[in-house]
Structure 1
Amino acid sequence: MQSLHDEVDRAAEDGWFSGVVRVDRAHETELCAAYGFADRAHGVRNTVDTQFGIASGTKGLTALVVMSLVERGTLGLDTTARSLLGDDLPLVADDVTVEHLLAHRSGIGDYLDEDGADLSDHLMPVPVHELATTEQYVAVLEGHPTVFPAGARFAYNDAGYVLLALLAERASGVEFPDLVRTLVCEPAGMVDTAFLRSDELPGRAARGYLSVDGLRTNGLHLPVRGSGDGGIYSTVTDLRGFWTALVAGRIVSPQTLAEMVRPRSHWPDLSYVSSRDHRRYGLGFHLHATGDQVWLEGYDAGVSFASLHDPASSVTWTVISNWTDGAWPIVRVLRDWFGS
């Protein structure tokens, strides 16, 4: 019988995987391995300490910032977006609340239409260098009519999480990257997690590639600096620390976490991850269709990522890749191996 390491090695070779895989059970690391190149042009290999973009995995951190502010009384789940927007974004309905936004049930129009989109296309509606602060994203959030009444149904929405970052900034008076650092990263000991600018990546950060080979990066495809819906960089070590701190109550209280992982919606799985039929969604976290597994996930030009925690087995695993579809063959191996 092949070991998990053998299975991952085989999938990595067959799928030309570029990235890092880490698996922990309780307090023991069962697997931590790096593959491929962080910088193909210069032959710089990925290591287990390489920083990778995690795309929409950022949404879980955004949700934790918001819920931390709820615990402090700075925001409420029933706070309306309009109460902090003033005259900005007039097409956001007056009854849209923080809870609607967290649960992807707000009905607001999205600034990105990714359904059926080719992620190698240039999808951003404004030049990417114009998106370096959360307030600058107001320009791309404007002009999108309401799609359905708030609370009526689930619809995954990037704009909603940028709006949450904007509301968090305005309510607290602190810029969103600093909120993530102080409310999430510092309590979790995530020393290598930050919103890096794509035009000044440090030496340990992986470049994101649009295909399995070649040198074309995602530098013109994503905002120069991320916000509430995506764009933070992290490492597998930091993500292990994230789950440990989250479960231990060091980021938000156990009562708040329980509220965040309470299912709000069912929605179909995405075929690039799994052949399973459904998953559920809480507040910022993906949830297993029937079990207790909770995870973060990201998929964008030059980025693919999933990080899962199973409280029943105390298993945590993370897969990060620096090309668009790189993570999913490894994710499928881990899901099959651990039955998640």
Structure 2
Amino acid sequence: MDFDSEALAGVATENGFTGAIRVQVGDRRLFDDAFGLAVRAHGIPNTTQTRFAMASGSKTFTALAVLSLVAEGVLALDDPVRRWLREDVPQVDDAVTLRHLLGHTAGVGEYLNDDADADAYLMPGSMHSYTSPEDFIALLDVPMLAAPGSRFEYSNGGFVLLGLVAQRAAGTRYQDLVRQRVFGPAALAHTDFLRSDELPGSAALGYLYPDSQRSNIFHLPIEGSADGGAYTTVGDIRRFWLALAAGAIVPSELVEQMTTPATPHDPGWPYGLGLWLPTPGGVWAMVGADAGVEMMSEHVAALDLTWTVLANESDKAGPVMRHLRLWREGVPYA
């Protein structure tokens, strides 16, 4: 498996990438390096052990928390979510199921504009008021976009609803539920929902612009929730993929459902249940972008191949991710 590490480093440097990159096959790291600064005001560099925010990449953790409850019989994929929503968010169609939400086919309305500029303030009120899926209820009560099961429509709101259902069904705070059912079984020692007002020294701040001190702390909830916001490292992402493939988080039959394109789906970029599937049957992906955050990680189980890009500046990871995707697409594995 040929890999040009100098070419990748060149792409990162030429495009001002700031973050960490790892490409690994089995025990062999083809590339493992970091660029830019984690904390610009103090000149603290990013390293391959730095913890970066994942934005929507951590939607996969929400899906797994839900699926772990499915595995135990607490929930069922085709359960209507109204049972757990009760009288809240009344505009959500009573026919919406967990399967619809997990595959972005529920047709629920959206509370967040994913197409807004990276420095836009997208949520009302103070960011410290959003620490639980319960805190989003008023934002989620918006008109349906489509009939449940009629089309694929990527939905942040749908995943917040999943977190709300999981939290209520388990009787456990969402973040603790994910710690117990995902981070623990996968041995992710460096992955967590970190508060932006007490980030540890191991975490990178997210920056909005090159050569600027302006961070994203007023743009995102103070603590990540069900539609994204966990922090992780390139090493933990690798451990996560191996644990998922081994059935260590949820049983293998549920992993198979996660990694099968949902119906309906976008044929150009299929989605399963909590995972993007750029090449159905072979490649699994987590993707995220937010103010000051950009990431992608792909895993090819047949090759034991993982590549991960974690960035702590808006719109900086794209050239690196495109370079790696082109390389991965040239690797035979089917």
Query: What's the % identity of the aligned pairs?
Result: 45
Aligned equivalent of 1:227, options 225, 228, 240:
225
Structure 1 residue 3: deviation in Å? Answer: 5.1
* 4+ aligned runs moved over 3 Å, structure 1: none
The answer to whether the 8 A contact 1:80-1:94 is kept is yes
Distance 1:289 1:24, change over 3 A: closer
Structure 1 residue 140: deviation in Å? Answer: 2.0
1:295-340 deviation line (CA, Å, top 9, x unaligned)? 0000110000001101232211110000011211111111122217
Aligned equivalent of 1:339, options 326, 329, 333:
329
Structure 1 residue 79: deviation in Å? Answer: 1.6
SS of the residue corresponding to residue 302 of structure 2 reads: coil
1:16-55 deviation line (CA, Å, top 9, x unaligned)? 0100000110222221101100001110000111000000
Alignment of 1:89-108 (within 5 A): 89-108=89-108
| RMSD of Structure 2 on Structure 1 (CA) | 1.4
Distance in 1 (alpha carbons) for counterparts of 2:255 and 2:287: 18
Structure 1 residue 127: deviation in Å? Answer: 2.2
Structure 1 residue 7: deviation in Å? Answer: 1.2
Provide structure 2 residue ranges, at least 5 long, that are not aligned to the other structure.
none
TM-score (norm 1): 0.93
The answer to whether the 8 A contact 1:55-1:298 is kept is yes
Aligned counterpart, 2:211: 213
Provide structure 1 residue ranges, at least 5 long, that are not aligned to the other structure.
269-277
Structure 1 residue 289: deviation in Å? Answer: 4.2
Aligned counterpart, 1:131: 130
Between stretches 286-295 and 98-107, larger displacement belongs to 286-295
The answer to whether the 8 A contact 1:23-1:32 is kept is yes
Distance in 2 (alpha carbons) for counterparts of 1:99 and 1:304: 27
The answer to whether the 8 A contact 2:89-2:138 is kept is no
SS of the residue corresponding to residue 187 of structure 1 reads: coil
Structure 1 residue 227: deviation in Å? Answer: 0.8
TM-score (norm 2): 0.95
Distance in 2 (alpha carbons) for counterparts of 1:329 and 1:213: 19
Aligned counterpart, 2:297: 307
Distance in 1 (alpha carbons) for counterparts of 2:145 and 2:124: 19
Aligned counterpart, 1:46: 46
1:59-85 deviation line (CA, Å, top 9, x unaligned)? 111111111110001111112121011
Distance in 2 (alpha carbons) for counterparts of 1:74 and 1:213: 49
Distance 1:246 1:225, change over 3 A: same
Distance 1:329 1:267, change over 3 A: same
Distance in 1 (alpha carbons) for counterparts of 2:151 and 2:106: 8
Structure 1 residue 165: deviation in Å? Answer: 0.4
The letter for the 2-side match of 1:323 is E
Alignment of 1:1-340 (within 5 A): 4-115=4-115, 117-142=116-141, 144-264=142-262, 265-267=264-266, 278-289=268-279, 292-339=282-329
Distance in 2 (alpha carbons) for counterparts of 1:11 and 1:165: 37
SS of the residue corresponding to residue 213 of structure 1 reads: coil
The alignment covers a number of residue pairs equal to: 328
Distance in 2 (alpha carbons) for counterparts of 1:290 and 1:63: 18
The answer to whether the 8 A contact 1:7-1:333 is kept is no
Between stretches 102-111 and 2-11, larger displacement belongs to 2-11
Distance in 1 (alpha carbons) for counterparts of 2:37 and 2:286: 24
Structure 1 residue 241: deviation in Å? Answer: 0.3
1:166-210 deviation line (CA, Å, top 9, x unaligned)? 100000101111111111111111011111111111111100001
SS of the residue corresponding to residue 122 of structure 1 reads: coil
1:264-318 deviation line (CA, Å, top 9, x unaligned)? 14427xxxxxxxxx21000000002455111000011000000110123221111
Between stretches 177-186 and 130-139, larger displacement belongs to 130-139
Distance in 1 (alpha carbons) for counterparts of 2:121 and 2:5: 37
Distance in 2 (alpha carbons) for counterparts of 1:187 and 1:221: 32
The answer to whether the 8 A contact 1:126-1:140 is kept is no
Distance in 1 (alpha carbons) for counterparts of 2:113 and 2:13: 33
SS of the residue corresponding to residue 269 of structure 2 reads: strand
Distance in 1 (alpha carbons) for counterparts of 2:271 and 2:284: 9
